[in-house]
Structure 1
Amino acid sequence: MSDTADSEGMASSLSAWFSLIRPAHWIKNLLLVVPVIFSHASISAGMCMKLVVGMVAMSLAASAGYIVNDIKDATFDRLHVRKRHRPIAARLIRPKQALSAAIGMAAASLTLAAAGVSATVGIEVAAYLVATAAYSAYFKRFVGTDVAILTGLYVWRLLIGGEITATPPSPWLICLSVNLFMALALIKRIDEVSSISTPATMLLGRGYTHVHRSSLLAGTGFFAFATVITILGYLAWSNAVVLYYRDPVWLWGTAVVVCLWLVHLWRRAIDGTIGGDPVMFAAADPVSLALVGLGTAAYIQAV
């Protein structure tokens, strides 16, 4: 009986730590590969190895950031219908233990990035860690500033990927990324505000209330429109389209797919059914996955 209880306790502890570091969110670090794909550069075995090391380093950095965020937000999370089950909020892991783990992950991330890739990438990962800590400690409380920083953290991944593969993102890709990730960050806030039980309630730990809902909706519409316009502008005016694509007509289909996907997320956010993170929602949402499949098929046909 004692062995069974010990095994159950260990399994519960491992589950809590697994939940704390959020490995499912590491999928976001696939953004490191995007610059080399859209630069149409040759990919060598050495480059692939550096990308793998970079992804591991960024995954550790991201998990360190999630832990710091959960420590900082524990009081608010205990009052939230979904977040109260997070390990620190639920008192399954002590904050001091979690902070020690975050420091260890951050140190491992910096070591991997600097020693396994380059000193420049090490500095960029360090900047990412500082930005995530500043966001959790201070900037997430300010309406507008928080979504701008979230967008910047996504775009920063692209820049790190460009540094690793020596394929800096083009101005078109940067513009597309800023608009797309601003739209997704605003969708995240719409979903959270839509989940608030009463109109007078403030989004816990942040400055948003139902008063901001119309502004969030308008902002999402603006950046979603700008995302699609950026794709169309690239297809109409960039010389790279003719240079790199065998049948670029298919690329117009990707603009339609992106538009449909953002509208789908927008509608789900209004209903408050995304669950907090649009990227993670999309990774398990059948409609989003079907649209990604269609967009990928169109891109493959174009190449």
Structure 2
Amino acid sequence: MDHYVDPDRLALDAVEGPIAAGRVRALRAYVALLRPRHWIKSVLVLVVPITAGPRAAVPHLTAIGLILLAFLSASSAVYVLNDLRDCEADRLHPVKRLRPLASGHVSVRGALAVLTALLLATVGLLIAVPPLGALVLGGYVVMNIWYTLTLKHQPLVDVSVVATGFVLRVLAGALAAGLTIQPLLLICVYCASVALSLGKRRHELADLKVTGEKHRPALSAYTVPFLDHVVVLNLVAALMCYVATMWQLKAPYGKVGAALSFPFAAFHVTRYLQMLIVERSGGDPVEDLMRDRQMRLNLGLWTAVLASTFLASSL
């Protein structure tokens, strides 16, 4: 027996299909506005609790979790604010024009609503986290608003502010866990972040030779050879501080860990320079580092060596 098909139902499905698809696209656009791929940067909050004293950090898991959520919320708020301010300029950029606001997939009104919600969430988390953590997080928010408004156009100051944001993540994680702050680790994170930020600007500057357009005013103060030198300088400094940080861990495993993990750290640095200078990559350091097969394999082995070292040191 043939099943009866309601023609009105078919007509409704034909309308609801595109509507449902449009809602999914809109939701994806709003999620993309938050730049979830960059949330991995906030994992730096966990570096000290995991590496320096996981057992001592256990009683502070709630505070650590709140600090992590706070940085996720604050960083997304900064991204939305940045996109609102640079919307018109982003439309002229070959890649940034695809961002939700620049492409028109998210309205200015919608972005403002998201920004308001994120700022309210950040304020709520500021109240909930320990005072010192709240102070660091507040400094991060103020610094990044200042960066978005003016500092991003100041050569060298721009990358210093970005790098300081990463350092504040590590510092907040250490404070939340009640652990000792390791200055050499902070220097390592700072130098590595400066290198990645300058690498991104090198990529943009090299592309400007082809497009003839300048989408970042601070680029006028840079040259490719200058950036090559400064990137290498900061990566070498980061590598040295990494080894020194490992060396200070519980003997003898700290020294063993430094020796065993150094080849992986050195490979990571060398591979990044190869991608940046030879393969003309580096436009999005997070994406480039995560999608590169050699980087992922090296990172997995590096993590395995560090995990074994820290496990042995806790026995």
TM-score for both structures, normalised by structure 1: 0.89
* 2-structure distance, mates of 1:257, 1:266: 14
Tell me: CA distance 1:44–1:142, structure 2 relative to 1, closer, same or farther (3 Å): closer
**Residue 57 (structure 1) aligns with:** 70
Counterpart of 1:112, as a letter, is L
Contact 2:81–2:115 (8 Å) recurs in 1: yes
The whole-number CA distance in structure 2 between the counterparts of 1:122 and 1:220 is 32
User: For the residues of structure 2 that align with 1:221 and 1:131, how far apart are their CA atoms?
Assistant: 26
**Which residue does 2:131 correspond to in 1?**
119
In 2, the alpha carbon distance for the partners of 1:6 and 1:234 equals: 55
Contact 1:155 1:178 in 2 (8 A): yes
Are the counterparts in 2 of residues 51 and 161 from structure 1 also a CA contact under 8 Å?
yes
Whether the 8 Å CA contact 1:16–1:92 is kept in 2: the answer is yes
Alignment of 1:278-293 (within 5 A): 278-293=285-300
Aligned to 1:194, the other structure's residue is in SS state: helix
Q: Which residue of 2 aligns with 1:267?
A: 274
Q: Structure 1's 269 and 210: CA in aligned 2 closer, same or farther, altered over 3 A?
A: farther
- Considering only CA atoms, is the larger Rg found in Structure 1 or Structure 2? 2
Q: Measured at CA, do residues 265 and 119 of structure 1 come closer, stay the same or move farther in structure 2, by a change above 3 Å? A: same
> Could you tell me which residue of structure 2 aligns to residue 198 of structure 1?
210
CA distance in 1, matches of 2:273, 2:294: 13
Q: Deviations 1:264-301 (Å, cap 9, x if unpaired)?
A: 12222233333x32123212321111111121222233
CA deviation after TM superposition for structure 1 residue 43, in Å: 4.2
Query: 2:186: which partner in 1?
Result: 174
Cα deviation digits, residues 96-143 of structure 1 (max 9, x gap): 32123112202211212322x223323322221111111111111121
Structure 2, unaligned stretches of length 5 or more? 1-13, 311-315
Deviations along 1:52-98, one digit per CA (max 9) or x if unpaired, are 22211211111101001111111121111111010110122122321
Going from structure 1 to structure 2, the CA distance change for 1:127 and 1:251 (only over 3 Å counts) comes to same
Match of 1:73 among 83, 86, 90: 86
Give the direction of change, closer, same or farther, for the CA distance of 1:247–1:163 in structure 2 (3 Å limit): closer
Q: Distance in 2 between matches of 1:122 and 1:44?
A: 18
The partner residue of 1:142 within 115, 132, 154 is 154
Q: One-letter code of the match for 1:264?
A: R
Question: Which moved further from structure 2: 262-271 or 20-29?
Answer: 262-271
Q: Secondary structure at the match of 1:89?
A: helix
Relative to 1, partners in 2 of residues 1:168 and 1:44: Cα closer, same or farther, differing over 3 Å?
Answer: closer
Worse-matched range after superposition: 171-180 or 141-150: 171-180
Give the aligned partner of residue 17 of structure 1: 30
Match of 2:302 in 1: 295
After superposition, the CA RMSD in angstroms is 2.2
Conservation of the 8 A alpha-carbon contact between 1:110 and 1:125: no
Unaligned runs of 5+ in 1: none
Note if contact 1:155-1:174 (Cα within 8 Å) is conserved in structure 2: yes
Name the CA distance, whole Å, in 2 between partners of 1:167 and 1:103.
Answer: 33
Q: 1:210 & 1:227 partners in 2: Cα distance? A: 24
Q: Secondary structure at the match of 1:208?
A: helix
- How far 1:10 sits from its partner (Å)? 0.7
Provide the secondary structure at the position in 1 that maps to 2:94.
Answer: coil
Say yes or no: does 1:86 pair with 2:99: yes
Q: Which residue identity does 1:94 align to in structure 2?
A: S
Q: Is 1:246 aligned to residue 253 of structure 2?
A: yes
Structure 1 counterpart of 2:232: 221
- SS at 1:273 equivalent: coil
Q: What is the identity percentage for the equivalent residue pairs of Structure 1 and Structure 2?
A: 23
What letter is aligned with 2:213?
Answer: T
Q: Is the 8 A contact 1:69 1:136 kept in 2?
A: yes
In 2, the alpha carbon distance for the partners of 1:59 and 1:139 equals 22
**Residues 1:138 and 1:44: Cα distance change in structure 2 (over 3 Å):** closer
Distance 1:250 1:41, change over 3 A: closer
- Separation in structure 2 between the aligned mates of residue 12 and residue 296 of structure 1, nearest angstrom: 36
Counterpart-to-counterpart distance in 2, 1:142 and 1:86: 24
> What secondary structure, in the 3-state scheme, does the structure 2 residue paired with 1:188 have?
helix
The corresponding residue for 1:155 is 167
